[in-house]
Amino acid sequence: MNRLLMVTTVPCTLDSFLLPFAAHFRSQGWQVDAMSCGISSNPDCVAGFDRVWDVEWSRNPLDPRNLLSTPGAIREIVIREKYDIIHVHTPVAAFVTRYALKDLRDRLGCKIVYTAHGFHFYNGGNPVKNTAFINLEKLAGNWTDYLVTINHEDKAAALKYGLIAPANTYYMPGIGVDLKYYNRDSVSASAVADVRQELGISTDTPLFLSVAEFTTRKHHVDAISAFAKLDRQDVHFALAGTGPLMDNMKQLATELGVIDRIHFLGNRLDIPVLMKAASANILVSAQEGLPRSVLESLALEVPTIGTKIRGTQDLLEGGCGLLVDVGDVDGLAAAMTWILDRPQAAANMAKLAYERIATYDLDVIIQLHEQLYEQALGLRL
């Protein structure tokens, strides 16, 4: 029996992105376990993996506590369970786990795979921080058998800085979007009508949508400020998600006089319906890997506005969406106006994007993982 361990910093990464991979490999007879901070309190993860392991670490990549007691706990589990492949995700978990196992890989015969969901260094990032994180990734590259990047900027950076050998550097187009669930033909007109009724808007009221956690890097302040600049009383804006800055954004919407047309929805389980109800989906982050919400809107053939950053550019360039500079509130307002004034052109743009979405299908990405794991196991044997 092949044994696979998936490692993330927090369990929501497993819950949101990796459960389909666990289900697939378990169906193939693999033992698939998971390791994360607080994972035993996540019922979906407990049900989705054969075994789960709680470890303690901080999401702050520079917190020295990450390298004190946690590596020993990781080593103990890996030695006992005899995993064939350890697949690490997210920067903190990836670094700490690779550090913990750096002197054991050869003796145990396990292979370490690292999927970078967006390096902590990126074009436009703080130069000092970028240099620090590049050096940390180069160091950890010595303890890595395979590196997977999910956008073209990170792929180029991995090769430029020689994070690991080029032959062991792989590009995969994201972590997959379930095209059976995010299906343009599966959302009924009645479901869309119900959502619009919930929001208190008519069937023909223009509606923008943003699906993002309320954190600084998501730049909700830009989206709300741009919406206020439209000065069009017939347009509404729905924001799905939660986070520490939600109350601040409600206050901003109040100060800008648009709180009566902005809907703070919190966590939602009906994202496909919300997207099909929208005139366009908006994501104006400063930093992403390959944004899931943009993939979802493209799969649903919904026009999309994003920022000129890694990952988002991969998805929207070539006429598949509208791109604005990070922090360009006037440019964002102009893009929103373009969507409102040119509905047919917006629809054509969304159709072009939809024609390319098959590349990012979850089933395709799972097959790529199969191929990589087969190679890893073959090299081990």
How do residues 229-266 score in pLDDT, each as one tens digit?
A: 998 999 999 999 999 999 999 999 999 999 999 999 99
**Statement to judge: residues 14 and 136 lie in one domain:** yes
**Statement to judge: residues 308 and 370 lie in one domain:** no
Q: Which residue has the tokens 């343009």?
A: 184
Q: Which domain holds residue 167?
A: 3-176+361-380
In a domain, 304, yes or no: yes
Quote the radius of gyration of the chain (alpha carbons, Å): 22
Rounded to 5°, the CA angle 40-42-46 comes to 65
Q: What's the pTM?
A: 0.93
In a domain, 182, yes or no: no
**Statement to judge: residues 238 and 140 lie in one domain:** no
Q: CATH number of the domain that 153 lies in?
A: 3.40.50.2000
**Statement to judge: residues 317 and 373 lie in one domain:** no
**Statement to judge: residues 201 and 159 lie in one domain:** no
As for how many domains the chain has, the answer is 2
**Bridge partners of 36?**
54
Closest residue by Cα to residue 285 from 214, 206, 227? 214
**Statement to judge: residues 53 and 144 lie in one domain:** yes
Counting every residue written for the chain, the total comes to 381
Closest residue by Cα to residue 270 from 201, 205, 208, 192? 192
**Statement to judge: residues 9 and 144 lie in one domain:** yes
Give the model's pLDDT for residue 58. 72
* pLDDT tens-place string over residues 24-60: 999 999 999 999 999 999 999 999 999 999 998 876 6
**Statement to judge: residues 218 and 164 lie in one domain:** no
Measured in degrees and rounded to the nearest 5, phi and psi for residue 139 equal -65, -50
**Statement to judge: residues 241 and 366 lie in one domain:** no
**Statement to judge: residues 247 and 334 lie in one domain:** yes
